[in-house]
């Protein structure tokens, strides 16, 4: 089994780009990643990629070249990027290939995501009475967590404030303006306790990574960033997920907790060894809960962590250093790979105004998607 290295990265700016399709943003990201690696499309031995709503990734061969490479389309909600990396790194690790690309992209209109009960195996009444609303799930998971573990609304606001401050320093981010705590706390409530600025918005963007075997990475002189773990897990019994008319009394853990443990076990390190992390922040509370679900702190400690600024760029464990989904928006297919892109930038030391002070060795990323799939990736330099 060979190690996997990331030898090239490319991103199409997140946000809104008129007159450029999601597919074109994916193509843009792949060309940027190839250029970064000093490689050509014809060097690629495989591709894994996908979008949730912007078309079939494999049709990109029309623009990039019909080299006959295997191109696997991936569709795993917000975890699509993590799933693509899971597939691509597996192809290299098992020795089938030593150079390939993973890509994720999307393009959602304003106010996208209007799920229908029948597409989720639910009866029509569930939607008719007003329960078919994704944001309710996030708010209710968070409300209970806040009550059980003493998390305040101020802490939710601190997460959003940090996101916009970091986004202002990240060229690929969508929201580039800092926002103060008052503006975040006093914004209109969407689903209590979450205000408008505590939720990410559907957006656009594309990201591509070039993966290589150890032998190929050495040949290219690109052995700086190694993938030490990629884990992907679906929901265990008793996890709390979106669109659940009922829950078992006996509660269980989340897909995130299981994926995280598996990643740390594979990498042979623990949460304390991580120097920076990108965690799924669909809303402010998700980042808070995912800090604990990924093992970085105990339940409730986030209140003190945020008050002390421990997750800011200059803190002990910087989290979502490019502003995460809150500042970059959520193009579902692209977000998971954006996190890995950001970690590579940071490990290379090319983060510019948002660079985390070094030395940096281990970087962690985590995605979570409906209805309960999670992927965790650990990079080392």
Partner 1 sequence: MPVAPNLFVTEPRLRLLGGRHRSSGRIVFPLPDDAAYERIELPPRGVLWSYTIQRIAPKSPPYRGGAFLPFAVGYVELPGALIVESRLTEVAFERLRVGMPMELTTMNVGDDSVGARQSYAFRPAPAAGTAA
Window of 30-38, 68-76, 173-181, 186-194 that interacts with partner 1 by CB under 8 A: 186-194
| DSSP secondary structure code for residue 319 in this structure | B
DSSP characters over 103-161: EEEEE--TT-----GGGGT--HHHHHTT---HHHHHHHHHHHHHHHHT--HHHHHHHHH
CB of 303 to partner 1, least distance (A): 17
CB of 327 to partner 1, least distance (A): 22
Q: Which two tokens stand for residue 304?
A: 């003190």
- One residue of 61, 133, 154, 168 binding partner 1 per CB under 8 A: 133
CA distance 202 to 329: 6
Site residues for partner 1, window 317-376 (CB under 8 A)?
none
CB of 126 to partner 1, least distance (A): 8
For residue 190, how many other CB atoms are within 10 A of its CB? 18
Told to check if 191 binds partner 1 by CB under 8 A, we report yes
CA distance 213 to 211: 7
Told to check if 168 binds partner 1 by CB under 8 A, we report no
Closer to partner 1 by CB, 154 or 187: give it.
Answer: 187
User: How long a stretch of residues is the chain?
Assistant: 381
Site string for partner 1, 197-236 (x = CB under 8 A): ----------------------------------------
Closest CA to 12 of 38, 30, 35: 30
CB of 111 to partner 1, least distance (A): 8
Closer to partner 1 by CB, 41 or 240: give it.
Answer: 240
CA distance 96 to 101: 14
Told to check if 312 binds partner 1 by CB under 8 A, we report no
Site string for partner 1, 113-132 (x = CB under 8 A): -x-xx-----xxxxxxxxxx
CB of 184 to partner 1, least distance (A): 16
For residue 123, how many other CB atoms are within 10 A of its CB? 10
Told to check if 249 binds partner 1 by CB under 8 A, we report yes
CB of 26 to partner 1, least distance (A): 28
Is 192 in contact with 341 (CB distance < 8 Å)?
A: no
Closer to partner 1 by CB, 124 or 316: give it.
Answer: 124
Window of 169-177, 185-193, 264-272, 290-298 that interacts with partner 1 by CB under 8 A: 185-193
Closest CA to 163 of 146, 185, 145, 179: 179
CB of 168 to partner 1, least distance (A): 27
- One residue of 12, 107, 108, 141 binding partner 1 per CB under 8 A: 141
- One residue of 181, 189, 298, 353 binding partner 1 per CB under 8 A: 189
Is 46 in contact with 100 (CB distance < 8 Å)?
A: yes
| DSSP secondary structure code for residue 283 in this structure | B
CA dihedral 275, 83, 69, 24 (to 10 degrees): -80
E strand or H helix at 181: helix 181-185
Q: How many residues sit in the footprint of partner 1 (CB under 8 A)? A: 34
Told to check if 147 binds partner 1 by CB under 8 A, we report yes
Closest CA to 33 of 137, 82, 114, 103: 103
Q: Which spans of this chain sit near partner 1 (rule: CB under 8 A)? A: 114, 116-117, 123-133, 136, 139-141, 143-144, 147-148, 188-193, 244-249
């Amino acid at each position: 089994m060979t190690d996997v290295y990331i030898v090239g990265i490319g991103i199409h700016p997140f946000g809104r780009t008129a007159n450029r399709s999601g597919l074109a943003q994916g193509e843009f990201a792949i060309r940027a990643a190839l250029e970064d690696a000093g490689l050509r499309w014809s060097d690629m031995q495989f591709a894994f990629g996908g979008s949730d709503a912007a078309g079939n990734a494999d049709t990109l061969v029309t623009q990039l070249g019909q080299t006959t490479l295997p191109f696997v389309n991936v569709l795993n909600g917000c975890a699509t990027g993590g799933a693509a990396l899971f597939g691509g790194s597996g192809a290299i690790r098992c020795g089938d290939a030593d150079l390939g690309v993973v890509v994720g992209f999307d393009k959602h209109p304003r106010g996208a995501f209007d799920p229908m009960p029948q597409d989720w195996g639910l009866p029509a009444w569930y939607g008719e009475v007003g329960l078919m609303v994704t944001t309710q799930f996030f708010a209710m998971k968070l409300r209970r967590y806040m009550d059980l573990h003493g998390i305040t609304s101020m802490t939710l606001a601190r997460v959003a404030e940090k996101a916009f401050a970091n986004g202002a320093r990240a060229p690929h981010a969508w929201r580039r303006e800092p926002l103060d705590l008052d503006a975040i706390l006093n914004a209109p409530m969407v689903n209590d306790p979450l205000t408008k600025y505590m939720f990410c918005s559907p957006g656009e963007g594309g990201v591509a990574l070039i993966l290589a075997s150890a032998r190929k990475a050495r040949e290219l002189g690109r052995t700086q960033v190694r993938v030490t773990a990629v884990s992907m897990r679906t929901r265990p019994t008793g996890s709390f997920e979106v669109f659940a008319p009922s829950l078992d009394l006996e509660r269980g853990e989340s897909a995130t907790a299981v994926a995280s443990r598996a990643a740390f076990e594979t990498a042979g390190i623990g949460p304390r060894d991580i120097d920076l992390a990108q965690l799924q922040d669909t809303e402010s509370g998700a980042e808070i809960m995912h800090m604990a679900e990924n093992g970085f702190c105990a339940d409730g400690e986030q209140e003190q962590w945020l008050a002390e600024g421990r997750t800011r760029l200059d803190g002990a464990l910087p989290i979502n250093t490019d502003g995460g989904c809150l500042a970059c928006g959520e193009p579902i297919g692209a977000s998971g790979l954006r996190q890995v892109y950001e970690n590579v930038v940071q490990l290379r030391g090319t983060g510019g105004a948002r660079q985390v002070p070094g030395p940096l060795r281990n970087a962690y990323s985590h995605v979570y998607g409906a209805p309960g799939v999670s992927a965790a990736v650990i990079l080392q330099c």
